[in-house]
């Protein structure tokens, strides 16, 4: 599985991370499938996260609205354009997923929602300039897998 981040999305993340400072932010990832097992993050929603891991239990309505808007823009071509996972920032920690993160993502793919795989992108901005990130993959019935770390 390969996941890349569109340059425009990287720029947007950097800007948002500059603004949010030490506040944690996050949202959902929307992706384009370029080939079998090869995805690109082409859009994301951005929420301010309040409370621990609130982003994972964040209003289903908001999640659905962001996706609905994305599906409208991409013509309902779900095989190519779809939900890819979740993201959030670790302004004060390393970009490695925390135990809580792993637990929340596992609940997501093992739970009752119709999501059988999801990526977790964790980002932080170093020196106001360098975007550090990790991407982990969670697949129903399989152990989590780190696919990128920088
Ligand atoms: Zn986290």
- Dist. CA 77 → ligand 1 center (Å): 31
Structural domain tally of the chain?
1
Q: What is the pLDDT of residue 113?
A: 76
* Distance (Å) of CA 8 to CA 40, 43, 65: 11, 9, 22
Measure 76 CA to ligand 1 centroid, in angstroms.
31
Domain span including residue 37: 2-149
Q: Identify the bridge partners of residue 102 per DSSP, sorted by sequence position.
A: none
For residue 79, the SS3 value is: coil
CATH code at position 34: 3.40.140.10
β-pairing verdict for 81-89 and 25-35: antiparallel
- Please give the distance, rounded to the nearest whole angstrom, from the Cα atom of residue 35 to the centre of ligand 1: 29
Tens digit of pLDDT at every position of the chain (150 positions): 899 999 999 999 999 999 988 888 888 999 999 999 999 999 998 886 655 544 555 556 777 788 899 999 999 999 999 999 999 999 988 999 999 999 999 998 998 778 889 999 999 999 888 999 999 999 999 999 999 998
Q: What is the pLDDT of residue 59?
A: 59
Measuring CA to CA, which residue among 75, 146, 137, 134 is closest to residue 109?
A: 137
C-alpha 147 – ligand 1 centre gap (Å): 16
94 C-alpha to center of ligand 1: Å? 9
46 CA to centre of ligand 1 in angstroms: 15
Pure H helices in 55-148 = 60-73, 99-110
**Residue 67's pLDDT is what?**
85
């Amino acid at each position: 599985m390969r996941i890349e981040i569109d340059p425009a999305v990287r720029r947007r993340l950097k800007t948002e991370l500059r603004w949010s400072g030490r506040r944690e932010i996050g949202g959902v990832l929307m992706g384009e499938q370029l080939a079998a097992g090869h995805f690109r993050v082409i859009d994301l929603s951005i929420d301010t996260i309040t409370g621990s891991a609130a982003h994972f239990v964040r209003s289903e309505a908001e999640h659905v609205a962001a996706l609905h808007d994305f599906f409208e823009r991409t013509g309902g071509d779900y095989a190519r354009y779809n939900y890819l996972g979740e993201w959030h920032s670790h302004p004060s920690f390393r970009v490695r997923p925390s135990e809580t993160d792993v637990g929340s993502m596992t609940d997501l793919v093992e739970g009752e929602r119709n999501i059988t795989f999801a990526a977790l992108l964790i980002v932080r901005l170093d020196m106001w300039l360098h975007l550090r990130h990790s991407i982990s993959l969670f697949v129903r019935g399989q152990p989590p897998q780190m696919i990128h770390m920088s």
